[in-house]
A and B are shown apart, each in its own frame.
Chain A
Amino acid sequence: MATIVERPSVVRRKRFGETYIGSWIMTTDHKKIGIMYIMTGFFSFLVGGLEALLIRTQLAQPNGHVLSPEVYNEVFTMHGTTMIFLFVMPMLTGLGNYIVPLMIGARDMAFPRINAFGFWLVLFGALFLNSSFLFIGPNGFSAAPNGGWFYYAPLSEQQYGCGVAGVVGCVNADFWALGILLLGISSIASGLNFVVTILRLRAPGMTMNRVPLFTWMTLITSFLLLFALPSLTAAAVMLLLDRHLGTHFFDATFHGDPLLWQHLFWSFGHPEVYILILPAFGIISEVLPVFSRKPIFGYTFIAWSGVAIGFLSFTVWAHHMFAVGLPTIAQAFFATSTTLIAIPTAVKIFNWIATVYGGKVSLKAPMLFALGFIAMFLIGGINGAALAVVPFDYQVTDTYFVVSHLHYVLFGGTVFGVFAGLYYWFPKMTGKLLGDGWGQVQFWLMLIGVNLTFFPMHILGILGMPRRIYTYPGNLGYNELNLMATVGAFIIALSILVFIYNVIISLRSGKEAGTDPWDAFTLEWDTASPPKVYNFLTIPIVRSRRPFYDMKNPDIADWKTATH
């Protein structure tokens, strides 16, 4: 009788990439990179949010003494820089990273290692920027950037860089410029990666006319990144040359021009605004149809109005500069282009409402956030169009009216869009549903908080309260409105705590999601939750804009009834 000889098992040390930590650090899987982007973005959101609370606490009362002027300036600068470069951009890149390849039926991004490189640049860029708080400069305050997220020259130059007259040698602006360079390289890498992925790796049959709208908007955003970021990168390099090698690009004393900085910055900065909002447009263009049980209304118009916005976004930058003394005829040009860009934006809003109209509207958390997005973004759109009215802009630019506008767009718009996306795709990423009840609580708290914080700021602007002031006198009628805004900010903070709690309990004991909890339409739901490394066992074949709907409803498939 033969005996089975047990072979001694080969004991070898796990390679680093096989350990749990290593599997994240060494990964080139778009899903893991996507999750790391989202985590980095969300953590930055908390940091930027704490900075916002500090600002609102300082401004809760007139003549507040919570922050010194120098610290206040650092905090508001880092709030803007963090929210834009370290929260919204990584968050949207992360969602795109996770979802876009799944949506188009691909197995990964086109350049997985460039993808990983892009993420690590963002992470270290974020750590680098925030490490500035740990260094003390010659003015006795930390070396955190202190010139605003726009960092206008010549306040960024050596002789004024400390914020305090007569003190030189501060490195605050160097931290900012170097951090922005790192993040800019990352954005260009990820933009390039998305463009190639979306143009080259789509499943068979998925023509550009059938690409899901989130993917469309990510594609447009990626082109904007590729064409807008170089301007910022060049400006940051010129600033560093000015500061350290004795050039005078922005120094009027030597016939340089401070306005050159503004032109370079805003010719990046305005496309940037659309970089921050277009992916959110995409998210809600996915969520609204699924929860209305209808296809998106006017797919072509939503996609192409996105393209129109993309082109026009490069022609409107000087509407940030109406007060700098440009010739009236040039201002008329920028007022006209700004008016034009409102048209495709309005078309999108109408199409979203038409998608809801006539549907069977299920008010689950993702849908609430998507509807909240429309309601709030509309306000940001209207007061934004008002800012294109140049003589009115002369009065309200650089006041709290603009703070109100930009937060209705970026918080009411982008952040609501991001939460719609997180509630929608969380089950795909984790296999667990994110609790709907807590989602409803979070939504209503956030909606109230946003309006309580940002609506009074319209009025503060009309009453003449400038932006970026660390305190204000008590006799100008600003007190109640500022207090209201501060209360609102803490309600928003509470809503974020509800979200964090919801994530924790849902991961521990949430409902199993299954592959397709929302009875959705697009390909990312046609695979396991979370998907395997290879995404799809077999690459699906696409015959319409709603391939997964077609598979589930073969009798009334879109490709039988609609022509696209």
Chain B
Amino acid sequence: MRMPLFRKTKRWVTIASAMLLSSLLLAACGENSPSILNPRGPVAAKEADLFYIILGIATFIFIVVEGVLIYSIFRFRERPNSPAPRQIHGSNAIEIAWTVAPSIFLFIVLGATIYYMFTLTDFDTGNRFKVNVVAHQWWWEFDYMNYPGSNGHPIVTADTMHIPLGATIEADLISNNVIHSFWVPALSGKKDVVPGHNNQLIFRADAVGTYPGECVEFCGSQHAHMHFDVVVDAPDAFNTWISMQQQAATPQNINAVKCTTPIPQSDLVACGAKFFAQGACVGCHGIVGVDLKGYDDPRAAGLIGPNLTHFGSRDLIAGGVLPNTPANLATWLSNPQAVKPGNDMPQLGLPQDQINALVAYLESLK
């Protein structure tokens, strides 16, 4: 009776510790993961610091309490000649001791919590770089409120958010549909995007790079496919990007091309523009300089798809589901419902040469 139990439990301890170790190793291997432990800004760095503090205290409590529990089980397990135990009902002194002891730990953690809460954005001097983050079902739009485009309206992009290195970013979180949540683990903890509430998230990026972000509040059937990238640019590169985004798209001479199959390679871009302007695309998408004066164009109120003015310069398409490559765009255009079932883009049944032309045109919009 005694030995088999003992052996089983030892095996359990071995399995548990092997699991713990292997999990930690795996965690170290997951280098592509948007881990909260690779902070690239002061907010995420403080949040990661707190994790290590908690991990230390939690590990200590875990080992002590589980240790005492396992010790008690073995030390006092029933043996053939175990005496009848003393009938002890309790002890007030011990109760007070073990009420106070965990309280001390908990209040240390609480103190750290409140201190970090109130100092999380203490780098913020009020001189903020403002971006409106607009959450759609199921993709992200980014409006640069202080940077008018060629039409006088803020520049608008989707799926990829560019921010300048070292600036205090104020993300104003806007939704006119359901609740979403904006999260870039490397830069900051999350904040929900709640219709009717003016939520803001303040953060800063201290290293140039591309950091994955995602929606983390359940928002309907494609909640899983609402990714985006935050690209942190050095100031010069950022200014270049901004000035590029401020330009309208180059008009194509769509009346001069015939666009009958097969479309000559030289007419591909112009034909793409023609299909775009004369087909179903403009029902949902706008391109500043082609068919819309801007995203705030009265016609734009009815638009439900991303503004495509600088589509070719983005890293991701379709709400972050696919990297922006010609092949992926062709896949998307041929059957968006297969890539992301339930999204707003219908299957248009486009012939292959139209798809090729549209891909060529859209990718040319740098």
Report if A and B associate in a common complex: yes
Shortest beta-carbon distance from A163 to chain B in Å: 4
Contact size range, B: 35 or more
A295 at the interface (CB under 8 A from B): yes
Cα A343 to Cα B106 in complex, Å, equals 8
B280 at the interface (CB under 8 A from A): no
Select from chain A the residue with minimum beta-carbon distance to B90.
A298
Select from chain B the residue with minimum beta-carbon distance to A331.
B117
Is A466's CB under 8 angstroms from B114's CB?
Answer: no
A168 at the interface (CB under 8 A from B): no
Cα A206 to Cα B38 in complex, Å, equals 59
Q: Which of A14-22, A100-108, A392-400, A505-513 contacts the other chain?
A: A392-400
Shortest beta-carbon distance from A536 to chain B in Å: 26
Select from chain B the residue with minimum beta-carbon distance to A397.
B190
What mask results when residues 55 to 89 of chain B are scored 1 for a CB within 8 Å of chain A, else 0?
A: 00010011001101100110111100011111111
A391 at the interface (CB under 8 A from B): yes
Select from chain A the residue with minimum beta-carbon distance to B198.
A325
What mask results when residues 185 to 216 of chain B are scored 1 for a CB within 8 Å of chain A, else 0?
A: 10011111011110110000000000010111
User: Contacts A395-B185, A476-B34; is A561 near B87 (CB within 8 Å)?
Assistant: yes
Select from chain A the residue with minimum beta-carbon distance to B54.
A386
Is A165's CB under 8 angstroms from B65's CB?
Answer: no
Contact of B224 among A324, A332, A444, A472 (CB under 8 A): A472
Q: Which B residues are in CB contact (< 8 Å) with A358?
A: 76, 85-86, 88
Is B26's CB under 8 angstroms from A390's CB?
Answer: no
Contact of A154 among B91, B195, B199 (CB under 8 A): B195
Is B215's CB under 8 angstroms from A477's CB?
Answer: no
Cα A391 to Cα B203 in complex, Å, equals 13
Is A391's CB under 8 angstroms from B102's CB?
Answer: no
Which B residues between 149 and 206 are near A, CB-CB below 8 angstroms? 176-179, 181, 183, 185, 188-192, 194-197, 199-200
What mask results when residues 93 to 114 of chain B are scored 1 for a CB within 8 Å of chain A, else 0?
A: 0110011001100110110111
A253 at the interface (CB under 8 A from B): yes
Which A residues between 520 and 564 are near B, CB-CB below 8 angstroms? 556, 558, 561-562, 564
User: Contacts A385-B109, A456-B23, A462-B37; is A359 near B196 (CB within 8 Å)?
Assistant: no
Is A480's CB under 8 angstroms from B26's CB?
Answer: yes
Is A166's CB under 8 angstroms from B344's CB?
Answer: yes
Contact of A293 among B66, B84, B102 (CB under 8 A): B84
Q: Which of B12-20, B124-132, B248-256 contacts the other chain?
A: B12-20
User: Contacts A292-B76, A395-B189; is A371 near B218 (CB within 8 Å)?
Assistant: no
Cα A70 to Cα B343 in complex, Å, equals 12
Contact of A462 among B29, B36, B191 (CB under 8 A): B36
Contact of A389 among B113, B177, B214 (CB under 8 A): B113
B266 at the interface (CB under 8 A from A): no
A299 at the interface (CB under 8 A from B): yes
Shortest beta-carbon distance from B5 to chain A in Å: 6
A339 at the interface (CB under 8 A from B): yes
User: Contacts A339-B109, A466-B215; is A476 near B32 (CB within 8 Å)?
Assistant: yes
Is B117's CB under 8 angstroms from A391's CB?
Answer: yes
Cα A476 to Cα B341 in complex, Å, equals 22
Cα A293 to Cα B78 in complex, Å, equals 10
Is B189's CB under 8 angstroms from A360's CB?
Answer: no
Cα A258 to Cα B194 in complex, Å, equals 7
Is A163's CB under 8 angstroms from B78's CB?
Answer: no
Shortest beta-carbon distance from B55 to chain A in Å: 8
Is B29's CB under 8 angstroms from A477's CB?
Answer: yes
Main SS of chain A's interface residues? Answer: helix
Q: Which A residues are in CB contact (< 8 Å) with B343?
A: 165
Shortest beta-carbon distance from B138 to chain A in Å: 8
Contact of A469 among B19, B47, B224 (CB under 8 A): B224
Shortest beta-carbon distance from B15 to chain A in Å: 7
Shortest beta-carbon distance from B111 to chain A in Å: 10
Is B221's CB under 8 angstroms from A361's CB?
Answer: no
B282 at the interface (CB under 8 A from A): no
B313 at the interface (CB under 8 A from A): no
Is A325's CB under 8 angstroms from B12's CB?
Answer: no
A315 at the interface (CB under 8 A from B): no
Contact of B58 among A259, A351, A382, A472 (CB under 8 A): A382
A455 at the interface (CB under 8 A from B): yes
Select from chain A the residue with minimum beta-carbon distance to B97.
A350
What mask results when residues 433 to 476 of chain A are scored 1 for a CB within 8 Å of chain B, else 0?
A: 00000000000100110011001101100111011111110011
Contact of B220 among A165, A252, A399, A471 (CB under 8 A): A165
Select from chain A the residue with minimum beta-carbon distance to B5.
A363
Select from chain B the residue with minimum beta-carbon distance to A553.
B87
User: Contacts A332-B114, A395-B44; is A160 near B58 (CB within 8 Å)?
Assistant: no
Contact of A391 among B50, B95, B222 (CB under 8 A): B50
Cα A398 to Cα B181 in complex, Å, equals 9
Q: Which B residues are in CB contact (< 8 Å) with A43?
A: none
User: Contacts A325-B197, A349-B65, A353-B68; is A343 near B103 (CB within 8 Å)?
Assistant: yes
User: Contacts A70-B221, A374-B69, A389-B50; is A463 near B30 (CB within 8 Å)?
Assistant: yes
Is B344's CB under 8 angstroms from A69's CB?
Answer: no
Q: Which A residues are in CB contact (< 8 Å) with B189?
A: 323, 391-395
Cα A390 to Cα B117 in complex, Å, equals 7
Cα A154 to Cα B193 in complex, Å, equals 12
User: Contacts A154-B195, A325-B199, A455-B23; is A297 near B76 (CB within 8 Å)?
Assistant: no
Cα A297 to Cα B72 in complex, Å, equals 14
B236 at the interface (CB under 8 A from A): no
Contact of A468 among B51, B114, B223 (CB under 8 A): B223
Pull 22 A–B residue pairs with CB atoms less than 8 Å apart, ordered by A. Answer: A160-B137, A164-B342, A165-B342, A257-B196, A258-B194, A292-B85, A297-B89, A323-B192, A353-B65, A353-B69, A363-B77, A389-B54, A392-B47, A392-B50, A392-B51, A392-B189, A397-B216, A458-B23, A464-B183, A464-B214, A466-B183, A470-B224
Give the 5 A-B CB pairs with smallest separation, nearest first: A477-B30, A394-B189, A252-B196, A469-B224, A464-B34
Q: A154-B195, A391-B117, A562-B89 are in contact. List 9 more A-B contacts (CB 8 A).
A: A70-B342, A160-B178, A163-B221, A294-B88, A356-B72, A383-B58, A391-B113, A394-B188, A481-B23
Which A residues lie at the B interface, using CB under 8 A?
Answer: 68-70, 73, 146-148, 152, 154-155, 160, 163-166, 252-253, 255-259, 292-301, 323-325, 328, 331-332, 335-336, 339, 342-343, 346-347, 349-351, 353-354, 356-363, 371, 374-375, 378-379, 382-383, 385-386, 388-399, 444, 447-448, 451-452, 455-456, 458-459, 462-464, 466-472, 475-478, 480-481, 556, 558, 561-562, 564
